Chains A and B, each alone.
Chain A
């Protein structure tokens, strides 16, 4: 039960994170992991799962002390106001960049997958209009909508996986030996860079209830993410082999295009694209909520809702100025975004935890 209707439960927050992580997982992880670990790529989420369990434990320990605080309050208390503010400005700038990146990816994918030669502005403006409308109702409405969306997403994903099974060649997933350990560690950079968003969830931690259950629900989440990430990578590699997977732009979509059930059920990629769009919607909303929460905290605003409209117009132009083509965005994701995500999502919380222990604040 929620004690406050403006708050969401930790379960709803984790559901938001899981839905948000679907779109980057499907887009970047298979090709990146196949490139780094070849046929052993499907093992890379195991490394990520171990790191994510540690991150969940870390946040559980932090929230035993800081019950109703946001990430901003926690960092400022542990590191001091000056150092905390500098770190949080970096978080804010990164969130602004990520929100623009995901807006652009959403439109580029639609154009690349099913609507070639269409102006991306059409999709971006439509999506942003829906986002402005939804965010006007607050995070609780979004979380409740997501509670309906996530099971639907999981069912669609399971059905697609079952339909992909006839195309699988399990010999593409082997051989795996001791010599695969280093490449697998290297490949785990992509899934780890994505699950780092778990820490960003606590930017609106003051609006999340029953955080004493982070550990319990977090462990289930890690298990779920481990299974889905392994299944996504394994299904792509066992359909095409790693050689094709590492060179394909949207390998999951390409694998889904191969589906043919008794020559009757074909062209199911439109279902994947629609699910993908819903996940894009959640991740863009997620980052905009984070940005507004940070603005609220920095400038001691009473209500950041009036800023939604103008921020969305701002992010439209930022998304348009961000890149000229999809290759620039892919390079940005692989060379800059993944390492920065890991630093902000894993390294800085770990440093804060250690500093907090030394200063006896955690």
Chain B
């Protein structure tokens, strides 16, 4: 749980720093892309922290393509 909190704090800190700069320059599109990327990062980070030994993306890719791993 501590790792999830750490992740959220890091993403929030980076977001606060960068979004403030982008807002000053009125870069609305950049802010939207940034938020989408930040949400993806949070989702992936939380998934990895909670299930670090789960099946890998390569495993799922091979399964999807019908290849033996």
Which residue numbers of A lie inside 8 Å of B, CB to CB? 295, 299-304, 306-307, 309-311, 313-314, 317-318, 320-324, 328-329, 331-332, 335-336
Q: How many residues of B are counted as interface, with CB atoms below 8 angstroms from the partner's CB atoms? A: 34
Interface residues of B in 14-65 (CB under 8 A from A): 14-15, 17-18, 21-22, 25, 27, 29-30, 33-34, 37-38, 40-41, 44-45, 47-48, 52-53, 55-59, 61-62, 65
Contacting residues, chain A, for B52 (C-beta < 8 A): 320
Q: Residue B11 at the A interface, CB < 8 A?
A: yes
Q: How far is the CA of A303 from the CA of B22 in the complex (A)?
A: 9
Contact check: which of A295, A304, A310, A328 meets B56 at CB < 8 Å?
Answer: A328
Q: How far is the CB of A330 from chain B (nearest CB, A)?
A: 10
Q: Tell whether, in the assembled complex, residue A313 and residue B14 are in contact, meaning their CB atoms are under 8 Å apart.
A: yes
Contact A307 B62 (CB under 8 A): no
How far does the alpha carbon of A170 sit from the alpha carbon of B3 in the complex, in Å?
Answer: 55
Is the pair B33, A317 in contact by a Cβ cutoff of 8 Å?
no
On whether the beta carbons of A306 and B44 are closer than 8 Å, the reply is no
B67 close to chain A: CB less than 8 A: yes
| Residue among A303, A321, A335 facing the most chain B CB atoms (10 A cut-off) | A321
Shortest C-beta distance, B31 to chain A (Å), equals 9
15 residue pairs of the A-B complex, CB under 8 angstroms, read: A301-B27, A301-B33, A302-B25, A307-B18, A307-B37, A309-B18, A310-B37, A313-B10, A317-B45, A318-B44, A318-B57, A321-B57, A322-B58, A324-B56, A328-B59
Distance from A168 Cβ to chain B, minimum over Cβ atoms (Å): 36
Is A299 within 8 A of B33, CB to CB?
Answer: yes
